[in-house]
Structure 1
Amino acid sequence: MVVPSGEPSAAVELLGEATRLRMSPADLDECAAFLQDVEHSGSAGSVHSLPRPGRQPSRLLFVGIGDGSEAGWRAAGAALARSARSEPALVLVVPAELAPAGLRGLAEGLWLASYRFELSTAEDFELKRVTLGLEATPEHAEALQRARAVAESTRLARDLTNMPGDRKTPAWFAKQIEKAATGVPQLTISVRDEAALTEQGFNAILAVGRGSTRGPRLVELSWRPRGARRHIVLVGKGITFDTGGICIKPLASMKLMRKDMGGAAAVVGATLAAAAMRLPVRVTALAPLAENAIGADAMRPGDVIRHYGGITSEVLNTDAEGRLVLGDAMAYAVRRLRPDVIVDLATLTGAQGVALGKRTAAMYSHSDALAAELSGAAEAAGEAVWRMPLSDDYAEALDGDLADLVNSTDIGAGSLLAALYLREFTGGLRDNWVHFDMSSPAWADSADGELTKGATGWGVRTLTRWLETTAA
């Protein structure tokens, strides 16, 4: 049984100036002398602790906020979550002029850095209440509500991604999304099983899942507020475990392949956050789910697949399966959903990590405007992206002898070629499409700022922040 962590553990309350910590002049002199002695830099997330045995409060934490930006406050919140994890409650003294954006960063940092994932008994995390002595405006209350929506959705995405592959079947994943969507007005969900996928021609999703005894699914989660004038489709790769198929991965590369559905978790999380915020923009999340396993009927190198919509792919590498399932979902989105914009997220290539490391996702788009919007959203949300060239110079390498496309080549440029492959499924939305290759940022090897070790939920914050600006 999973201990649910979607719900943030610490309540953050705004109770006005009456809750401000009252300190005597002697106390303030003590604080000033301490800060001078420890040479507190005030850099974002820096923490110094002053024990005061026998007095109240018994311990003071001095936390730096850097330049006072939202990012600085987010770092401060994350540092507090770790430094005060053994405390049942905190009272924070913050500047009276704390802006709503700073409050949002502080709350997100607190909630995200306090995340824990346990399969049996949860590690005791005692911090239950954080009180700010702040005269709250409606703008502050809204900022706190939005921080909570983002934190809950990110924590859910982390839970889904952290779940081991023996439990995380496509059917299980779909059921978790159904549970999260239950009871939310104007939020609907449909789940296509193997029979429906076969009947409707989602042949790539079926091919990738064919080697597993645990069949594939396609989840369609829709937020449809009244009066929405823009429709965004978010598509996320959902390989619940990736052995590489017949082109099997080496052990070292397979150990963490439970994270290969991080894109699906992120697009679902962002859609749930949009619904929680009641954003006036229509959002549809598509999560093609399959387990890429080895079995008697597994997809083989040399197989030819006819995707939803008719494009054919020759399979040259069964370990390049993510782009196959994404192709089906994107073709369906273009033909049936008719969105204004398509954004896809995928833990797609190791080449992304080679180029950009662990914290920065690769972004591909022909649209300067969309790329700028999403880059700005990522920066504001505290996630990093870098726009990569989407050059036609390599497109010919994808031409197949037996099919329209091949799903793999041996000429290098792996992340770019994957993006060019996906572009073939965008139809008339080629210039209104963005692809994120976020394989490495989906996982943290150690705690860092608001990230905890394990799944990061990368993309929920960027997509949600972008949907907020799109809806404004």
Structure 2
Amino acid sequence: MPPRGAVGAALALVGLDAEVVAATYEPSAKAGDTTTIPLPPGERAARRVLLVGVGGGRPEDLRAAGAAVGRAGRGKSAVVTTIGAGAGAGAQAAYAEGVALGGFTPPSWRSERSQAPKPPAGQVVLVGRYDADAVHRAVVRARATMLARNLAVVPSNTKNPAWMAAQARTLGRRAGLDVKVWNERDLAAQGFGGLLAVGGGSATPPRLVQLDYVPDGATAKTPRIVLVGKGITFDTGGLDIKPAEGMLAMKTDMSGSAIVLAVLAACRELEVPVRVTGLLALAENAVGGGSYRPGDVLTQYGGRTVEIGNTDAEGRIVMADALAYADLELDPDVLLDIATLTGAARVALSRSMAPVYATDDRLGAELVAAGDATGEPLWPFPLVEDYRAMLDSDVADINHIAGLGGGGGSITAALFLREFAGSRRWAHLDIAGVGRSDVDRGILTKGGTGFGARLLLRWLEEMG
């Protein structure tokens, strides 16, 4: 069938007949499929028309269509689009996210600028009836995702804990946040034994960063949410060293901290109605004379002792310090962490969705709903109490990994983290599978994905 309605009218504006276009090009309606129609030279400002399939018009269909438009617009001065005009606010938000993320290109360190990826379109003009607020919010959330992606792909010879802390200071000031940074001396004086142990083998010492957002008009009764992000700026595995192939993507092992930083940086522009604190647990897990060892017993913040079973399970150790600090010092109404934590999560759910663990069913359902709305799907996983015994230690309060043959690696990692969240309403997002992409298609580019930034912002926006 020939394109009708707004599509037919748009084609007519550039001198094309809808029926002729349909017969000649047979455009596909599948979401994200594109058909390019070059325009003859003349007085038109436009050089080509892009017909984009929108499937059934669902938000996920429009997100895919938007990604196609964003990709097609790379290197162009402007893109004019009518897709999504008149649709619901959720569908229009999804389309705006798709355009922004599809057009995203990661930073490049090439010596020749001509070899760098084409930049996103200079501007995107929406023609028709759009919900301006929904589109604006979607773009802000997408921008947070892009910030997290940019941080994730910075090479680790540049990106160390101090560098990440400096980025947090700069972004925090711009966003009107209060920022506090603990250096290695502060961490030692205050008993952050996990961060010090994991970072002990590196020439670049660990850091802990706290960012605080307070909405206008907040009172003592305004709820406080604390977000903890894993920030391993490079992971060799420590003395339990990874194989070479396993290290290739490890510059992105700080994605959780990048996502938390990006979320905090967007809170004021989105007028998030609750107080939000971000904690970035930053360390490099390297091999050196100061490396921590299998069999060591660490004292985490707050005094709990932990027996080390494998130095390549370092993320939960630095996060345990941050979670305990949040529980004991910050009195959060909700405590949430996000991390590229376990290979078991990737085995269980591959690259398309992430497990979410929660001590409160309502909290878990809220996060799942936010992920559905932003195209970042979560799947509820159980905190299996029978598995807790696998973390028992003969010499310490707890072992940080399950015993040999224990299995359920993502679940036991979550159970370990829960020990440091106290009795708080707590949730854990294990983004080891979805936090990195090996493909460059749709809204994804190779490298860090920033998965979770949009869903966390959506969840925070709706807490008022």
TM-score (norm 1): 0.90
User: Which structure 1 residue ranges, 4+ long, deviate > 4 Å from structure 2?
Assistant: 20-26
Aligned to 2:418: 423
Does 2:129 align with 1:129? no
Does 2:260 align with 1:267? yes
Identity level (%): 43
Cα distance in 1 between the residues matched to 2:232 and 2:320: 14
Deviation sequence 1:348-380 (CA, Å, 0-9, x none): 111111111012111112321111110010010
Cα distance in 1 between the residues matched to 2:74 and 2:175: 32
Cα distance in 1 between the residues matched to 2:88 and 2:311: 51
Deviation sequence 1:255-304 (CA, Å, 0-9, x none): 11111111111111112222221211111111110000011111011111
Does 2:102 align with 1:113? yes
Change (3 A) 1:26 1:412: closer
Deviation sequence 1:199-226 (CA, Å, 0-9, x none): 1111111111000010000010111113
Aligned to 1:307: 300
Q: 1:22-33 counterparts in 2 under 5 A?
A: 24=12, 27-28=15-16, 30-33=17-20
1:47–1:62 contact (8 Å) kept in structure 2: yes
1:44–1:75 contact (8 Å) kept in structure 2: yes
- CA shift, 1:99, in A, is 3.2
- CA shift, 1:145, in A, is 2.3
- CA shift, 1:448, in A, is 2.7
Aligned to 2:340: 347
Work out the number of aligned pairs and report it: 445
SS of 2:31's equivalent in the other structure is coil
- CA shift, 1:93, in A, is 2.6
2:66–2:96 contact (8 Å) kept in structure 1: yes
Cα distance in 2 between the residues matched to 1:332 and 1:262: 21
Does 2:372 align with 1:379? yes
Q: Provide structure 2 residue ranges, at least 5 long, that are not aligned to the other structure.
A: 1-7
Cα distance in 2 between the residues matched to 1:223 and 1:261: 21
- CA shift, 1:58, in A, is 3.2
Aligned to 2:5: none
Change (3 A) 1:394 1:174: same
Match of 1:402 among 395, 398, 420: 395
Cα distance in 2 between the residues matched to 1:245 and 1:22: 59
- CA shift, 1:130, in A, is 1.5
Cα distance in 1 between the residues matched to 2:394 and 2:309: 11
Cα distance in 2 between the residues matched to 1:164 and 1:307: 29
Does 2:182 align with 1:210? no
Cα distance in 2 between the residues matched to 1:92 and 1:365: 41
SS of 2:212's equivalent in the other structure is strand
SS of 1:222's equivalent in the other structure is strand
Aligned to 1:283: 276
Change (3 A) 1:105 1:126: closer
Q: Which moved more, 1:205-214 or 1:447-456?
A: 447-456
Amino acid at match of 1:211: G
Does 2:58 align with 1:63? no
Match of 2:160 among 147, 169, 193: 169
Does 2:132 align with 1:141? yes
Amino acid at match of 2:119: F
2:156–2:233 contact (8 Å) kept in structure 1: yes
Cα distance in 2 between the residues matched to 1:84 and 1:200: 51
Amino acid at match of 2:418: R
Change (3 A) 1:24 1:47: closer
Match of 2:309 among 308, 313, 316: 316
- CA shift, 1:166, in A, is 1.1
1:21–1:93 contact (8 Å) kept in structure 2: no
Amino acid at match of 1:363: V
Deviation sequence 1:381-409 (CA, Å, 0-9, x none): 11121111211111111111110111123
Deviation sequence 1:20-50 (CA, Å, 0-9, x none): 986648945x233322444434222121111
TM-score (norm 2): 0.92
